Amino acid sequence: MLAACDVQAQEGKWGLGGFVNYTLPLKKLGDRYDNTVKYGTTLNYVSSDAVTLEIEYHYSKFDDGKLAAKPFFYAVDNKSYTSPNAKSTLTFNSLAVNALLFLGEDNQSHGFKAKDYRYYLAVGGGFYRYNAVNENFVAPYQTTKPIDFTLVMEPQIDKRTTLAGNVGVGLEAFVTDNLALDVRGRYNFVLGELRPMLFYGNTDRARPLQLFDLGVGLKLYFWR
């Protein structure tokens, strides 16, 4: 265990961080989008030797959604087509408050010295603002032959600010006494939904939105 004076010295310490995540959509959301990169920043506060609180902002965008490449069946000529100019995107802007819990006395004693490391459990929640757009999809309910590829449906937009939670595990490894490398994996649960696209592969509604992150970041701690 850290000496009492060392523990007291770390409490109240602040830090700034930045990270990059590999983000994988799960379940129904994974049927619509492939993986992407998530970028973010954190403001950290050491409330005790066992708990660090952080405010986190992150941004991510899923381009080239799978729906844009899905075919639709055109009943007039009994053929299947794809939309040549279709786009399917999903953007997240998020703000969360997380607690990093360094469990166990031995684990709490490591840190704030070069080459020290600490394992932690991460639990948090906050607000996710998502904006999903499907546009330039050819209207499949036409009645003429041949099909008119310039006749497209109105854009389908699902936009909402909603609650979300996350849980995961991580490792904080100190490069110097105040510079740490942070590696973590987290499951994210977003209370939102994306409407179905019935003509295009009969894609089901996605609810809730679930994602898994695997990321790495740097955190610079400084005295209060």
pLDDT digits (tens, 9 = 90+) for 49-86: 899 999 999 999 999 999 999 999 999 999 999 999 99
Phi and psi angles of residue 86, each rounded to the nearest 5 degrees, phi first: -70, 145
**Average pLDDT for residues 112-123, to the nearest whole number?**
94
- Pairwise CA distance, residues 118 & 109, whole Å: 8
pLDDT band at 134, cuts 50/70/90?
very high
Q: What's residue 2's pLDDT?
A: 44
Q: Which amino acid is at 207?
A: R
Check whether 41 has a pLDDT greater than 50: yes
Q: Contact, 133 vs 160, CB < 8 A?
A: no
pLDDT band at 224, cuts 50/70/90?
low
**Average pLDDT for residues 152-175, to the nearest whole number?**
97
Higher per-residue pLDDT: 2 or 33: 33
Check whether 157 has a pLDDT greater than 80: yes
Least confident of 42-46, 96-100, 177-181, 199-203: 199-203
Least confident of 4-8, 129-133, 209-213: 4-8
Query: Tokens in use for 36?
Result: 């992407």
Contacts (Cβ under 8 Å, ≥6 apart) of 5? none
Check whether 5 has a pLDDT greater than 70: no
Q: What's residue 1's pLDDT?
A: 43
Higher per-residue pLDDT: 7 or 48: 48
* Strand extents, DSSP E, the chain: 14-25, 36-46, 51-62, 72-74, 79-81, 87-101, 117-135, 156-174, 179-190, 209-222
Distances in Å between the alpha carbon of 221 and those of 6, 8, 39, 49? 15, 15, 20, 14
Strand partners for 134: 88, 156
- Pairwise CA distance, residues 56 & 37, whole Å: 16
- Pairwise CA distance, residues 182 & 24, whole Å: 19
